[in-house]
Amino acid sequence: MLAPYLLLLLIFGAIPVVMAILEVPHESRTNPDGGWDAFNIVLHDFRFLPAVRHVLGFMAIFVPLTIIFVIGMALMLDLKISRWKKYLRLAYIIPAAISGPVAVLVWYAILQPTISPFKGPLKFFHLTSNTQIWQTKNLVFIFALMAFFAVCGYWILIQYGSLQGISTEVIEAARVDGCSALQLAFRIKLPLIKKYIIYMGVLIFAGGLQLFVEPELLNKGAYQGIAEAWSLDQLSFELAFTTGDFGGAAALSLLLLFPSLLGALIVIFKTDMFEEAEVTSKKGEK
Amino acid sequence: MLTKYFKSSKLRQENPIAGFFINAWLIFFAFVSIIPMIWLLVTPSKNDADVTNRHALSFGQFSGYKNAWDNLQFFDEGVIFRWLLNSIWYTVTIVIIATVTATLAGFALSASSIKFKKSILISTLITMLVPPMALVVPVFVLVDKLSLMDNPLAVIFVSSLYPFGVFLSYIYFTTTIPRELYEAGRIDGCNDFKLFTKIALPLSWPLVSLLAFFAFIGNWANYFLPYILLPSSVNYTLPIGLGFLFSATPAINPSVGATSVPIYKPEIALAGVLIALPIMIVFMISQKRLVRGMLSGSIKE
């Protein structure tokens, strides 16, 4: 019964990596002699460092912003002061339905002062023309904002759910001891859901690394040339499909794969996230 | 009832001002959250001029939707309809294969003592955590070698690899069905297949709907993979088609010359609605399930 899954895992998980490794030394225009120099050539591509910088800048804004905001919102919802909690949660999940190219379309409109549904706020910040907004240097912020809205509601719901898992006795006991709402949040609730926060951090991080459709569509459509080979995904796409340099594209993928593999292994073996899976040994059983 | 009321108004009594501001902020953010979706939903009801001239959230006419849909049909002899059908059949097939393989694999990993169980679980977790972007070019190289380029089956099979689902299913079966039950079944002469159909399957419907839900939301709007593997327009999915319209219409891309095809902002927004609306509906009806599923990925019930 494992066979169908194992087959998929082997063919589309393991074999591609092997093939990518074999593809690297192939001769190409950028690597005329072939060989493992392909790694070096990609690292010295003039677009490589800017793309790394863009992605890191994006992540540096998007990841902490999302985590802190989500935790704050979940804690506020958990205070149970709003009578419309149920409807609020329904509203928060809605932006998650706007993803991929639809998100590009919607954000194109939001950040276009002539048609924006947020004309008022844009005007307040003296943004009346799209040339003020759509500049290459602003893209890290724009993409961070897009990614933030696409995932934050989804995670607010999940972290709110994790807070519901805390037993009421614990909360009541803390209250009897005179805990204020803030102390309750920082001393009791957050430590108890620490595990889910790490879980969220890991998934937000892994998901955030993928930045393709946003820069690609804007670059090809509305604002041509604004994001040429802006992200690492675009660069590898560019290498493979525009230059036809599959060796270089494969080398770039592997350069991304190894740190991700290392990261995944650290998460699996050095945190207790997957303890129940009996993958790693439980504490005290060593 | 009374204690519930007492608890719920605790903060309000302790600190009414903070309570008021928090409440106001929560409601404010709810409005911010729904505005983009409202914009998307009302835009096809207007004509292109009114998208700019009238208030962004105003409603045009119901006939606007019909008009925008008819205009979309003008594009490349109604290829939009083809994209819609493609999106539906790719996604449905992926959801079925992914859900079935993940359910079976999770069951097999939890019920029987297979060799390499630990290595399989670790590989599953690794595949789940490695960002998909690192695998896209390698997958492309493989698909190219298999001569499956521009073949929908490539997207379907690649997307059916569902490590998160396998992990979820494994956790589900280990936490809901005690191992003794399987052992008893084995003594009674059941093989693994019978154990699955007689014991596990009847208890696994909540799991199956959860797996199908995550597979659907992960694949319906997927862009990168089909974009790379399916270059011809007849094989596009709706998201790829939308991306194409977005970058090819003079209404949005100033460098494209005027065309006779009536694709403007309302038409593009309508294509966006076709993608976003199903996800929104699924999200809204299964938000409880979503929360439970995500949390059980990392905890015991």
Last residue of a domain, one of B217, B244, B275: B217
Task: Give the best residue of A81, A151, A160 to mutate against chain B (max B CB count within 10 A).
Answer: A81
Does A252 score more than 80 pLDDT?
A: yes
Q: Are residues B209 and B99 in the same domain?
A: yes
pLDDT, position B12: 55
Judged by average pLDDT, the poorest of A25-34, A65-74, A215-224, B41-50 is A25-34
Q: Are residues B105 and B210 in the same domain?
A: yes
pLDDT tens-digit profile of A162-211?
998 888 888 889 888 888 888 889 989 999 988 889 889 988 988 888 88
Domain of residue B117: give its range. Answer: 91-217
Domain presence at residue B295: no
pLDDT tens-digit profile of B247-294?
888 878 877 776 667 788 999 999 999 999 999 999 888 887 778 777
Last residue of a domain, one of B217, B239, B259: B217
Domain presence at residue B213: yes
| Cβ-contact B233, B76 below 8 angstroms | yes
Does B11 score more than 90 pLDDT?
A: no
Average pLDDT for residues A48-56, to the nearest whole number?
95
pLDDT, position A280: 52
Nearest-Cα distance to chain A for B130, in Å, is 6
Domain presence at residue B110: yes
Q: Are residues B96 and B188 in the same domain?
A: yes
Last residue of a domain, one of B169, B200, B217: B217
Rounded distance between C-alpha atoms, residue B224 and residue B252, angstroms: 22
- Write down the mean pLDDT value for chain A: 88
pLDDT tens-digit profile of B220-247?
999 989 999 999 999 999 999 999 999 8
pLDDT, position B13: 59
Domain presence at residue B246: no
pLDDT, position A276: 60
Q: Residue B238 is encoded by which pair of tokens?
A: 């709706």
Domain presence at residue B76: no
Average pLDDT for residues B137-143, to the nearest whole number?
90
Nearest-Cα distance to chain A for B292, in Å, is 8
Return the residue of A nearest to B115 by Cα.
Answer: A2
Which residues does chain A have within 8 Å of residue B104's beta carbon, measured at their own beta carbons? Answer: 1-2, 4-5
- The domain total for chain B is 2
Nearest-Cα distance to chain B for A104, in Å, is 9
Does B4 score more than 70 pLDDT?
A: no
Contacts 24+ apart (CB under 8 A), A10-17: A11/B142, A11/B157, A12/B139, A12/B142, A12/B157, A12/B158, A12/B161, A13/B123, A13/B127, A13/B135, A13/B161, A13/B163, A14/B123, A15/B142, A16/B135, A16/B138, A16/B139, A16/B141, A16/B142, A17/A254, A17/A257, A17/B135, A17/B138
pLDDT, position A284: 39
Does B6 score more than 60 pLDDT?
A: no
Which residues does chain B have within 8 Å of residue A161's beta carbon, measured at their own beta carbons? Answer: 291-292, 294-295
Does B300 score more than 50 pLDDT?
A: no
Domain presence at residue B230: no
Does A101 score more than 80 pLDDT?
A: yes
- Write down the mean pLDDT value for chain B: 87
Does A281 score more than 50 pLDDT?
A: no
Domain presence at residue B75: no
Q: Are residues B102 and B193 in the same domain?
A: yes
CB contact under 8 A, A115 and B298: no
Residue corresponding to tokens 């009832």: B1
Does A110 score more than 90 pLDDT?
A: yes
Domain presence at residue B67: no
Nearest-Cα distance to chain B for A11, in Å, is 9
pLDDT tens-digit profile of A129-174?
888 899 989 999 999 999 999 999 989 998 998 998 888 888 889 8
Q: Are residues B135 and B175 in the same domain?
A: yes
Q: Are residues B117 and B165 in the same domain?
A: yes
Which residues does chain A have within 8 Å of residue B131's beta carbon, measured at their own beta carbons? Answer: 206-207, 209-210, 256, 260
pLDDT tens-digit profile of B59-69?
999 999 999 99
Higher-pLDDT residue of B31, A181: B31
CB contact under 8 A, B171 and A276: yes
pLDDT, position B101: 97
Tell me which of 1.10.1040.50, 3.20.20.140, 1.10.3720.10, 1.10.10.10 is the CATH number of domain A57-222.
1.10.3720.10
pLDDT, position B193: 87
pLDDT, position B204: 86
Q: Are residues B106 and B50 in the same domain?
A: no
DSSP chain B: -HHHHHHHTHHHHH-HHHHHHHHHHHHHHHHHHHHHHHHHHHGGGS-HHHHHHS-TT----THHHHHHHHHHHHTTTTHHHHHHHHHHHHHHHHHHHHHHHHHHHHHHHHHS--TTHHHHHHHHHHHHHS-THHHHHHHHHHHHHTT-TT-HHHHHHHHH--HHHHHHHHHHHHHHS-HHHHHHHHHTT--HHHHIIIIIHHH-HHHHHHHHHHHHHHHTT--HHHHHH--SGGG--HHHHHHHHHHH-TTT-TTSPP-SS---HHHHHHHHHHHHHHHHHHHHHTHHHHHHHHHHTTS--
Among residues of chain B, what percentage have pLDDT more than 70? 92
pLDDT, position B14: 66
What CATH number has the domain bearing residue B204? 1.10.3720.10
Does B3 score more than 50 pLDDT?
A: no
